[in-house]
Amino acid sequence: KAKENGKNDCMLYSDSWSNSSFERLKLQHEMYRAIQRHEFVLHYQPQYDLKSGIMVGVEALVRWNHPVRGLLAPGSFIPLAEESGMIVQIGDWVLEEACRQNKEWQDAGLAKIPVSVNLSIRQFLQHDLASRIAEVLETTGLEPKYLDLEITESMTIDVGHITRCLLEITNLGVGISVDDFGTGYSSFHYLKNFPIDRLKIDRSFVRDIQQDPSDAEIVAAIIAMAHNLNIQVIAEGVETEEQMEFLKKHRCDEMQGFFCSPPVSSDNIEQMLKAG
Ligand code: C2E
Ligand code: MG
Ligand code: MG
Ligand code: MG
């Protein structure tokens, strides 16, 4: 069938195809050793209170310091890790490292703020998730209120299981945020059925707040609705002062985005916390 296409097309097609599947296999194989080799690192993106401008949290974002390819963004390996199931081990490492680091900052006398950790659906399907979280809090000594877990709307595979799991987690005193809010098919279902503390307005709505009146309406409505339900709101992907002003005007609680800071190393966060 490939022969029906032009000769060059065919070669390009098969080349890039075999290449990429080979690369994927290789990367998947390398991922297995990456944890023991300490090749994963966490960067942290600050979250700010919109009224006071104070840093009120950080989101842990994983990177892979690959020996040959350099520092890889999650987009280039998380999907593979999800596919292979390795995300469970990587996610477990992320959870423990984020809690350990946060406790270290607190012990050094820096601000006590929660760290947000992204959870994969695969981690939810492990039935011991809540006890694993309790164990990590115990071993790192971090108080539960300084951990926040980010879940996404795609996590509706087994609603009963997820509801029980989320209740177990909130009973520990750990916070729950809905990430990328508004991009899935089940936004309202989440708000109605799950014990949610905070929602994160997806960056795709924030991006065109200034140009697109419907995005502006949607963002304003999400904030108002969340507040009526006693849910805090943080806007993701804030890149301009105008976006920030809009969010402030509509009483959004917090913001996160390149306008304030991209994700940075733990050393950088330490400096920022020291500077106040
Ligand atoms: P996310 O959880 O929605 O994280 C926010 C992403 O948006 C980050 O990309 C961040 O660098 C980027 N971002 C923040 N502010 C801005 C902005 O103002 N403009 C733009 N254009 N982008 C901004 P990153 O670090 O590449 O992470 C991408 C995604 O990978 C995350 O999206 C999350 O879904 C996933 N991810 C990252 N770390 C983990 C992890 O430890 N576990 C799991 N399961 N997923 C993770
Ligand atoms: Mg997130
Ligand atoms: Mg997000
Ligand atoms: Mg997003």
pLDDT tens digit sequence for 103-125: 999 999 999 999 999 999 889 88
Residue-wise pLDDT tens digits, 189-246: 778 888 999 999 999 999 999 999 999 999 999 999 999 999 999 999 999 999 999 9
Structural element, H or E, at residue 176: strand 175-181
Return d(Cα 227, Cα 193) in angstroms, integer. 16
Report pLDDT for 197. Answer: 96
Tell me the mean pLDDT in the region 252-261. 98
Cβ–ligand 1 contact at 153 (below 6 Å):
no
State which of 25-39, 122-136, 183-197, 230-244 shows the largest mean pLDDT: 230-244
Whether the Cβ atoms of residue 249 and residue 52 lie closer than 8 Å to each other: no
pLDDT score for 148: 98
**Whether the CB of 46 sits within 6 Å of ligand 1:** no
Write the residue with the smallest CA distance to atom 10 of ligand 1. Answer: 263
Per-residue b/e over 6-16, b at no fewer than 16 CB within 10 Å? eeeeeeeeeee
Q: Is 78 in the pocket of ligand 1 (CB under 6 A)?
A: yes
- 101 Cβ inside 6 Å of ligand 1: no
Tell me the whole-structure pTM to 2 decimals.
0.92
